[in-house]
Amino acid sequence: AQSVAQPEDQVNVAEGNPLTVKCTYSVSGNPYLFWYVQYPNRGLQFLLKYITGDNLVKGSYGFEAEFNKSQTSFHLKKPSALVSDSALYFCAVRPGSARQLTFGSGTQLTVLP
């Protein structure tokens, strides 16, 4: 069975600094990897995905993520954080053979002004 780990419940970063939200996964076969963001009292919004191809994936709002097969990681990054990036971030995975996503427990990102 597949699983996702987000080792940090909370990440704090100063505005303008780079940010990283960590994600590692376990899945049989080739993984399909996703990042979602959840703002307060709203549903999850799709940020970016990795299916195949370049290991560096660019998504919405200036976010990017790097797929590292040897480390089974898919960390979310942004070169310069904004206060408006403060939200709850979820990593998700599914094997190519399945349709349903398995989500991590989420990481609360707080960007301090």
Q: Which residues bind other proteins (CB under 8 A)?
A: 6, 32, 34, 36, 41-46, 49, 51, 90, 94, 99-106
**Closer to other proteins at the Cβ: 15 or 73?**
73
CB of 66 to other proteins, least distance (A): 18
CB of 96 to other proteins, least distance (A): 9
Structure tokens at 14: 């100063």
Structure tokens at 38: 């959840």
**Spatial contact of 21 and 108, defined as CB atoms under 8 Å apart:** no
CB of 2 to other proteins, least distance (A): 11
Structure tokens at 27: 């899945």
What amino acid occupies position 76? L
